[in-house]
Every structure is written in structure tokens, then in C-alpha cells.
Amino acid sequence: MLPFTLTILGSSSATPTSNRNPTAQLLSHGEKLFLIDCGEGTQVALRRMHIHFQRIRHIFISHLHGDHFYGLIGLISSMHLLGRTKPLHIYGPPVLKQILDLQLEASLTTLIYPLEFHPTQADGPEVLFEDDHITVSSFPMLHRIPTTGFLFREKPYERRLRKDMLNELNIPVHLIPLLRRGDDYTAPDGTVYPNESITIESPSPKSYAFCSDTAYFEDIIPVVKGSTLLYHETTFMNDRIANATDKFHSTTGQAATIARKAGVKRLLIGHYSARYDDLQSLLDEARAVFPLTELAEDGSVFEIL
């Protein structure tokens, strides 16, 4: 099973505060680092946490409100100034490319590494990236401007071979990949060994769903269903539901309701309005609906398991 962890780099909404950066999260899966949103100050947050940001290969931007991307151009520039050579893939709304290009041109900067921009769209779900281990897809959220959530889903792990049976039956090496995928084993004497007798189950694949920013939106429930960890924004508490609705944001109670209806394993809330100094009341409101809720706070790390 590959290590799968989430680091919160920013948990504030709209404006940074003295102790909370705007939205940015680092998702680490195996050797890979994915950055999700990149509010102002993200590069310094990465430095302070001693995360070598040149290792990030893929950056996903949910939408073009400043608190989700104003730190991107600075990070891209620093990667350049610090001698990056590996490609960087950025996934985000099409206009983001223009915004980056205009700023690079203004400084007469030609990046010394390849920047590959992949435009996203908010009309329906879409697979953005996949490799042998993970699939990253986007899905529409309900916000004032086109916005996507992101779903990071591990691919099923292959079954693991029972070493005792491997030795006892003297199974040829070339058959091992087939057995891992579920084939039965037929011995030279014709005896058939069902796959279950020679392999054991692997851990079930884990998934992380990132939902920020959005009004209460039940369309996302089938998409994030059963997620190992669901991050859902909670800009306000229930007593400001009119404010939340008006601004296409969610309350803590609404976030927890989505988590419950989607049957996720754990819920993480964040994107707090600057009005909330103490987050305990938000946590209480969420846990009343969905007990397995945690608070995203700058610098906190969550294992996805």
C-alpha cells in the first residue's frame, strides 16, 4: 500500500489572516506530490514545512478566485529561478494560462523548464491524469464562477501471493503477474488451484475528494461516494446559511450532510471565514451531523487510510 497523506498549507477563505493562508493543499501519494490550489503565500508555507517544492509535478487549480491561485505565479517563478528542469503540469480554467503568460512576458521570463498547461472545464466530470497507481478527475461544483472539485482515486491493488504456496507448488515466475491479477493456477499435473487459495486480498484502494468552493450541491454526492477522505469547504456556520447561499458557499452543517449522504469514511472541513478565530464551534456543528469530522488547519497532516 502506498503512503497517501494530505498536508494543509492554507485553510482560510477569501483573505489570508495573520495565521491562516488561503487555500492550498499538498497531496502526497507514493513518491508523487500533487498541489491542490495555490493561494498567496503557498511557496513560503512549503518552505517553512521543509517540503522540497521542485518535487511537485502536478498542480490542480479549482477556480479563479484569488484565494485559490494568487500564489501560483510566484511558485512557478521560484521553480524557474531555482533551476528546475523537470516538466510541470498545471490543470485549471483556460484563462489561467493567459494570466500566467502575461506575467511571464511582462518580466521577459522564458521558463527554463517545460510548463504544460491542461485546461479544465466545469461542465461535467473529466479524467485529468492517470498513471499505474492513481487517477485524478475533476467534477463540477456549484459556485459563482466555473469551479471544479478534484477526486484522487487509487487504482485497485493487485492481489498478493502467498509465499508458502509459491514455494510449495513451485509456481513458475512468469505466471506471477497473472496470479496477482486474479487468475487461477493450473499445476503441471492438471490440478487447478483457485486464485483465493494462493493469493490474499490487497488493501482496498483509497480516495481523496477535494470540494472547494461550492454551495450545498447534492450532485457531488455520487461522485465522492465512499471516499476515504472528503474535504468540503465550510465558509460559514449554519446561523449564516443565507450568507453562505448568497455567496455560493456552504455551512458546516451542509458540509457534514454531504459527507453523511455520500457515506464517506472521514470528513475534513476548511476554508473558514476570517470571522472564526476559534474553530471548535464549527467542529461541533459538523460532528453533530457527521461524527468523523476533522478540522483542516495550516500545517496539519492527515493520513488517508
In this structure, which amino acid lies at residue 98?
Q
**Identity at 75, one-letter amino acid code:** L
Distance CA 160, CA 183 (A): 12
Q: Is 67 a catalytic site residue? A: yes
By the rule CB under 8 A, 96 interacts with a copy of itself: yes
The grid cell for 3 is 503512503
Q: Which one, of 65, 112, 110, 73, lies nearest residue 90 by Cα? A: 73
Number of residues located near a copy of itself, criterion CB under 8 A? 36
Cα gap 98→116, rounded to integer Å? 13
- Taking CB under 8 A as the rule, does residue 236 contact a copy of itself? no
Does 37 help bind a copy of itself (rule: CB under 8 A)?
no
Is there binding between residue 241 and a copy of itself (CB under 8 A)? no
Q: What mask, x for binding a copy of itself by CB under 8 A, covers residues 102 to 121?
A: xx--xxx-------------
Q: Find the binder of a copy of itself among 1, 3, 31, 47 (CB under 8 A).
A: 47
- Minimal distance in Å, beta carbon 256 to a copy of itself? 26
Of the pair 14, 36, the CB lying nearest a copy of itself is at 14
The residue count for the chain = 305
Exactly one of 67, 131, 219, 298 is catalytic; name it.
Answer: 67
Q: Report the nearest approach of a copy of itself to the CB of residue 149 (Å).
A: 18
- Supply the DSSP symbol for 32: E
CA dihedral (173, 175, 181, 182) positive or negative? negative
Residue carrying the nine cell digits 494530505: 6
Q: Which of 48, 55, 86, 160 binds a copy of itself (CB under 8 A)?
A: 48
d(CA 175, CA 186): 10
Candidate list 3, 15, 130, 160; residue touching a copy of itself; CB under 8 A:
15
Binding positions for a copy of itself, 120-179, rule CB under 8 A: 144-145
In contact, 236 and 159? CB cutoff 8 Å: no
- The smaller minimum CB distance to a copy of itself, of residues 39 and 253, is found at 39
Whether the CB-CB separation of 252 and 271 falls below 8 Å is answered with no
Residues at the site binding a copy of itself, with contacts judged by CB under 8 A: 14-18, 21, 40-41, 43-44, 47-48, 64-67, 70-71, 73-74, 77-78, 81-82, 93, 95-96, 98-99, 102-103, 106-108, 144-145
Cite the active site residues: 67
